[in-house]
Amino acid sequence: MTITDFPTTASGVRSPIPDLHAPSPGERALAAARFQLAEASRFLGLDDGMHHMLATPRRSLTVSVPVRREDGRLEVVQGHRVQHNLSRGPAKGGIRFHPATDLAEVTALAMWMTWKCALVGIPYGGAKGGVAVDPAALTPRELERVTRRYVNEILPLIGPEKDIPAPDVGTDEQTMAWIMDTYSANAGYSVPGVVTGKPTALGGSLGRAGATSRGVQIAALQALTRSPEGATVAVQGFGKVGALAAQYLADAGCRVVAVSDAGGAVVRSSGLDVAALRAHAAETGSVHGYRDADPLSRDELLELDVDVLVPAALEGVITADNAPRVRARLVVEGANGPTTPEADLILAGNGATVVPDILANAGGVIVSYLEWVQNTQAYSWSAGEVEVKLRDLMENAYRAVAELAAERGLTLRQAAHAIGVGRVAEAHRMRGLYP
């Protein structure tokens, strides 16, 4: 495979960035994902046909999901499932419930999942699903109805050998239990391997619940150029990923000084008691109002003078507008696509290191793979064994990315995409094109 340098203009600036000011966050995320693929394709010397194939989802399904509300009203929401690429194995990717979810966002997330799986060396292609609904606005029974009806609509696409969903924003192990049960009821027998991120009582893996957060911690500690003792950390998005990432980083000796969620942000320069803050958030629903810290605006958190910034919420939070004010020397992406390509250029120009999402948050899909393997073998590993396997895969992937970046003068994101895209392209070439 021929490798060439990333293209630059005469002034030394990388190739022009496409218009990233699309009307919806999903469309902006998809523009960013396509831009990253285009850069990697040029770096790898891929021809136009291969690039177009990699840019085009294998399958996209949009469905209507009717839900009967408790008061008798019937509402219809939209759901999606996108299988981006299957060259390296069955599709793998989460399902998110969020009111802003649309087909463009799901397509971008599926593409990023393809590169992520290839980068960390697990035999999956990328997929993603979503329903445009606010789970907080639904009762548990309404949420179950939405989940089961959505699964019935996408049933032809999913299966333990075809496409294996997992939790994402707005979904959890209970959602996966409903999906498993719905699929199993249609199959006529129990099929635990159809989803990952299940409760352990249904075949879920030990260590899965905090796997993405553990991966963020591993990536951050690998990228730190100093001892973690006392290293200051700010976490944007104190949810499923961010809260545990903050806890794991604190456990490693870092000083978590600020966190935020949808309800607000808090800061304490001497360091937050992360365990107490998690308890407060679990009780009240937000970090807002935590007494042992000062209030902070969510925008200010991104611009704090800290050693490590962990954006762990949604896409597109670090932009060309605020990137010049980001003072963290290390940005570890716990969320998918939190940094726009424009912001990437600014951060790199200011000397910041960004550990990209397809590497930093890969812990979740790694342990999902381990769960799937356990299900297919009717076997289980201890939490310690899962931890060792997770750490090995994360550290090996980080090492490969860092070595390529150093060797070719690339950012970590450029190197990660070059490796991930290159492995998928190689698999496609080896399989050939079915006539």
Question: Nearest-5° angle of CA 306, CA 312, CA 315?
Answer: 115
Q: Which residues are catalytic?
A: 128
Q: How far apart are CA 105 and CA 303, in angstroms?
A: 26
